[in-house]
Chains A and B, each alone.
Chain A
Amino acid sequence: MRVTDNVLRMAFLSALTQAQQRIADTQNQVATGRRVNLPSDDPFAAARIGELDASLSRLEQYRSNGGLAVTRLGLEEETLVSVIDNLQRVRELAVQGNNATLGDADRAAVATEMRQRLDSVLALANASDQNGHYMFSGYSESTLPFAPGPGGVSYNGDEGQRHLQLSDERLVATNDAGSEVFQRIPNGNGTFVVRAAPSNTGAGVLGPASATDPSAFVPDTYAINFLSPADYEIRDSGGGLVASGTYADGQAIAFLGVEVVLTGVPAAGDSFSVAPSSSQDVFATLQAFIDALERPVTDQASRSLLHNDMGQGLVDIDQAVSHMIDVRAEIGARIRAIEQEAALIDGFSLQLTESLSELRDLDYAEALSLLTSQLFGLEAAQQTFARTQGLSLFRYL
């Protein structure tokens, strides 16, 4: 082929442009540290990179959701620990206040401390989270959940539970409604509750009551009526006779899977009721102690009433404590689940980051050696051009 000056120049320019373009590409890769800067650099890797980026960002969000959930649950747990401490102190006080040697003034002192404990439990139940929202009012987090009133403490929140997303599939509850924590606590032994009638005049005091066969218990309100200190009959709410028997101090009265132990000698006409357990809020349980302790003890009847109220109140507060412990355990389980999920997310993120790096990141050693050889090529082309341009016959004419 005939080589003209233009051919030489064009060939050189084209080689130069391409070499410079390649160097610019490599330089860009080195500067960003990425092999793929634009989808057109490697469309299929770019698609995968896009997916991985989105997945990582989603996982990061889940991780942050989990962190937030742990904070919320941790706060709730701390609050519950304080509630349990208070309730346990109330239990001690109740045992103390139930002591027959105490006088009215001593009991009043116990009642005063108990009142303070009641106030602390109420304050804890109305506690706010880190954002100033009430922790125990369900969805209605700007509504004061528990307000004391003439009929006891009422709940103004709702039963809403907020869930946060821990993974694509998994949600975790980050709060518990106040009604579930402080109100839905079964009284008595969980199956039935025994109470002494306030009008009793005898010395009969209720002892432990147990459900020997909960399935045999037919839910109804039963009355154990003493016809005489030694004879009793048991009637259901319709007045039908369920059982009758003779009473001996400390011996269990049993019917329909119910076993009630009485101590002391009841008077004729005294009555004890056995009713199905229902929900009783923790505030009512505490208030019942205070009411019992503040009632003056003047005679046998009032003494029996004190012991009966305090004794059954102890059963109720044990229920409350065990309920709180259950709620706390549930929270602990949720926190553990979140931590497990976080560990999974960490592992998964690591894998994704590795895949991402493999797809996107530059092999510096390779890129730099490539750059060196490209620069060398460019220099060589430039020098050749300079040399060949110098060659002209005209110089010799």
Chain B
Amino acid sequence: MADILKIGLSALLSHQRALAATSNNIANANTPGYSRQRVELAERSSERLGSSFVGTGVDVEFVRRITDDILAGQLRNAATEFHRSDVFSELASVLDNLLADQQTGLSPTLQSFVNAMQQVADDPGSQSSRQVFLSEARNLASRFNSLGAGIADLNRQILASGTPSDGAPPPELLDQRDRLLESLSQLIGVDTVEQSDGTVGVFIGTGQVLVLGTESASLAVRPGSFDPEQPNIVLEGAGPDVNVTEFLSGGSLGGGLDFRRELLTSARANIGMIALGLAQAFNTEHANGMDLLGNLGGDLFAVPAPRALAAATNAGSSSVTVSVTDLGALQPNDYQLVFDGSGYSLFRGNTGTAVAMTGSGTAVDPFLAEGISIVVAGAPATGDQFLLRTVSEVSSGLSVLFSDPARIAAAAPTRTRGALANVGNGAVSAGQIIDVTDPGLLATATIEFVDATTYSVNGAGSFAYTPGADIDINGTRIQITGSPAAGDQFVIEANAGGIGDNRNALAIAASLAAGIFNAGVTTLQGAASNLVTEVGAATAESQNRRDAQRLLFDQAEQKLESVRGVNLDEEAADLVRLEQLYQAAAQTVAVADSLFSTLLSALGRQ
């Protein structure tokens, strides 16, 4: 009887525990990362009773936490990849939006700027069309500026995407540890290794230790060694800080960094290159013209000069000056100039590809590569590095220099005419400026034909006449056609009062529509549309990848959840079953009690 009581009691206790586990499962049905628990029961060892063995009841062996480490690892990987592509595509679509707006996108703004130039050409004497042009120019500059600012914003968001939203205490329980690892892997790609002592080592990037045993390192954001705007992520541990920016991958932080590496830097450089091309093409052609006040055209656009940034770690005393010399060869990226102890080498900033340079780096014979010219001075130390910002800062700094519509140089500085007394049928072209710096540009030059095949210039010299051939005088190029007679005169003179002249406006409009980059193949419009396509394609691709990764992530999460998650129906069934068993066990105790009473009363009668 005592045995029956003992057995019944063990059953009662065990099923109490099991019921507790079930109610805990029900209670935690919604707890993220919770693994359902099951009480594992075991038979108590039997007792020898004479020649036979009799069971002694049931025991709770242990409480099993039902989960699957392989699936949990898969989930971590999927989470890392999904959050990487999610952040990438979020950031990319912001950039995509920024560039591609129907009205304010780069391409329509460029086109309306060129159209405004055409309108100046339509009526160069009109203040209103000049005013419209200037406001288009300002609009264009502010468009480039806001693109620059938008990109800077994105740059900041990249680090914001890496800020964890909760600060849970250090892992103590396994579920929480798993959940923290999961959270961590949403931020950044991690590798975990289970140690023999049951702890888990956490590694990031290419094996940098984040957690090992009870020691942990922390990640911090530090201003970049070249540029505070491009911060780096460093691992702060026992030793010196390690820059891990380049090694991080996966997770939302890795996604942001990938976006910066793959798309943002390139977009910024491309926009900068377009801004630079626009400013240079416009200013160059504008300088060949004359404004309403009779002055030669000044610069309309100002762009920040290329900069050479020395790394904070540089030990030498050398300084570097960089300038853009050839738009046709310019590439949309920044460069890194490294001194290796014996000489300088140049690397593309985006790909790290080495670029061959010619020249010796002196002011007289600068290093030349891909449209840029580099002059170095001072004594470098081995390992010194310079970041050459050729194009990426241009967009933010593009500005319009004057606001007086009269200063738009729509006219050419010189004009031509044939003398009224000319007898022959020779005709002179309107003239084209080939060297605006010629000191004699505005001086009057008279071409007089000595006879039908020879002419003199300002009464001097004797030149053979070829109809239609270029005649360059004082920086102006003209052609004379037809058959001039002896004594016929053609004059090149300053275009004083020539406010109705639109030749330079037409020339500017033509140069803005002409090929500027890639050795004159790619136009400004073309470069803008290439950029929009590049960003659009990258965004579309990242969205597709995000969708695919979301599927994998969902599947991994569902798989793991299907193992460890709580099914309430299951728990309800368990509840019913356990309740019944508990009742049955209680019944056993009752039976033992009645057996005992029976025995006592039998003894009492005697």
Judging by beta carbons under 8 Å apart, are A58 and B423 in contact? no
A365 at interface, CB cutoff 8 A: no
Q: Considering only CB atoms and an 8 Å cut-off, how many residues of chain B contact the other chain?
A: 76
CA distance in complex: A279, B105 (Å): 56
CA distance in complex: A163, B411 (Å): 12
Interface 1/0 per residue, A186-203 and B, CB below 8 Å: 000000000000000000
B495 at interface, CB cutoff 8 A: yes
Judging by beta carbons under 8 Å apart, are B111 and A279 in contact? no
Return chain A residues, CB-CB under 8 Å to B221. none
Q: Which of A297-340 contact B (CB under 8 A)?
A: none
CA distance in complex: A2, B566 (Å): 10
B543 at interface, CB cutoff 8 A: yes
Judging by beta carbons under 8 Å apart, are B566 and A5 in contact? yes
CA distance in complex: A42, B557 (Å): 31
Q: Which of B78-110 contact A (CB under 8 A)?
A: 92-93, 96-97, 99-100, 105, 107-108, 110
Judging by beta carbons under 8 Å apart, are B499 and A161 in contact? no
Judging by beta carbons under 8 Å apart, are A392 and B125 in contact? no
Judging by beta carbons under 8 Å apart, are A4 and B562 in contact? yes
User: How far apart are A284's CB and chain B's nearest CB, in angstroms?
Assistant: 11
B509 at interface, CB cutoff 8 A: yes
Return chain B residues, CB-CB under 8 Å to A43. 533, 536-537, 539-540
Judging by beta carbons under 8 Å apart, are B533 and A44 in contact? yes
Assuming the contacts A1-B562, A219-B485, asked whether A397 and B498 have C-beta atoms less than 8 A apart, the reply is no
A221 at interface, CB cutoff 8 A: no
Return chain A residues, CB-CB under 8 Å to B121. 65, 164-165
Judging by beta carbons under 8 Å apart, are B529 and A51 in contact? yes
B568 at interface, CB cutoff 8 A: yes
CB < 8 Å neighbour of B565 from A4, A46, A64, A137:
A4
User: How far apart are A253's CB and chain B's nearest CB, in angstroms?
Assistant: 24
Return chain A residues, CB-CB under 8 Å to B536. 38-41, 43, 46-47
CB < 8 Å neighbour of B123 from A2, A68, A160, A219:
A68
User: How far apart are A340's CB and chain B's nearest CB, in angstroms?
Assistant: 20
Judging by beta carbons under 8 Å apart, are A278 and B421 in contact? yes
Judging by beta carbons under 8 Å apart, are A46 and B532 in contact? yes
Q: Which residue of B lies closest to A159 (CB)?
A: B417
User: How far apart are A23's CB and chain B's nearest CB, in angstroms?
Assistant: 16
Return chain A residues, CB-CB under 8 Å to B573. 393
Judging by beta carbons under 8 Å apart, are B540 and A165 in contact? no
For the complex, would chain B's binding face be called helix, strand, loop or mixed by DSSP majority?
Answer: helix
CA distance in complex: A179, B529 (Å): 47
Interface 1/0 per residue, B507-547 and A, CB below 8 Å: 00100010000000000010011101101110110010000
Judging by beta carbons under 8 Å apart, are A54 and B525 in contact? yes
CA distance in complex: A392, B21 (Å): 19
A141 at interface, CB cutoff 8 A: yes
CA distance in complex: A68, B115 (Å): 14
A215 at interface, CB cutoff 8 A: no
Return chain A residues, CB-CB under 8 Å to B418. 159
Interface 1/0 per residue, A1-16 and B, CB below 8 Å: 1111111001100100
A140 at interface, CB cutoff 8 A: yes
User: How far apart are A200's CB and chain B's nearest CB, in angstroms?
Assistant: 27
Judging by beta carbons under 8 Å apart, are A47 and B532 in contact? yes
B506 at interface, CB cutoff 8 A: yes
Identify the interface centre among B105, B498, B525: most chain A CB within 10 Å of its CB: B498
CB < 8 Å neighbour of B567 from A5, A58, A168:
A5
Return chain B residues, CB-CB under 8 Å to A214. none
CA distance in complex: A143, B572 (Å): 101
Judging by beta carbons under 8 Å apart, are A61 and B125 in contact? no
Return chain B residues, CB-CB under 8 Å to A235. none
Judging by beta carbons under 8 Å apart, are A47 and B420 in contact? no
A171 at interface, CB cutoff 8 A: yes
Q: Which residue of A lies closest to B529 (CB)?
A: A50
Judging by beta carbons under 8 Å apart, are A139 and B499 in contact? yes
B47 at interface, CB cutoff 8 A: no
Interface 1/0 per residue, B186-218 and A, CB below 8 Å: 000000000000000000000000000000000
Judging by beta carbons under 8 Å apart, are A6 and B561 in contact? yes
Judging by beta carbons under 8 Å apart, are B562 and A3 in contact? yes
Judging by beta carbons under 8 Å apart, are A139 and B497 in contact? yes
Assuming the contacts A5-B566, A10-B557, A131-B125, asked whether A138 and B423 have C-beta atoms less than 8 A apart, the reply is no
CB < 8 Å neighbour of A39 from B99, B110, B111, B513:
B99
Judging by beta carbons under 8 Å apart, are A138 and B500 in contact? yes
Q: Which residue of B lies closest to A177 (CB)?
A: B417
CA distance in complex: A68, B423 (Å): 35
B416 at interface, CB cutoff 8 A: yes
Assuming the contacts A10-B561, A38-B536, A50-B107, asked whether A392 and B416 have C-beta atoms less than 8 A apart, the reply is no
Judging by beta carbons under 8 Å apart, are A6 and B566 in contact? yes
CB < 8 Å neighbour of B500 from A4, A140, A155:
A140
User: How far apart are A131's CB and chain B's nearest CB, in angstroms?
Assistant: 6
User: How far apart are A59's CB and chain B's nearest CB, in angstroms?
Assistant: 11
Assuming the contacts A57-B112, A133-B125, A179-B420, asked whether A5 and B497 have C-beta atoms less than 8 A apart, the reply is no
CB < 8 Å neighbour of A131 from B126, B532, B569:
B126
User: How far apart are B179's CB and chain A's nearest CB, in angstroms?
Assistant: 14
Assuming the contacts A7-B558, A54-B525, asked whether A162 and B502 have C-beta atoms less than 8 A apart, the reply is yes
B554 at interface, CB cutoff 8 A: yes
Interface pairs (20), CB distance under 8 Å: A2-B562, A3-B567, A4-B567, A5-B568, A7-B561, A11-B554, A14-B554, A38-B93, A40-B536, A40-B537, A43-B536, A137-B500, A138-B415, A143-B497, A162-B501, A163-B503, A171-B506, A179-B417, A179-B420, A219-B485
The 5 closest A-B pairs by CB, nearest first: A39-B536, A4-B565, A139-B498, A141-B500, A40-B539
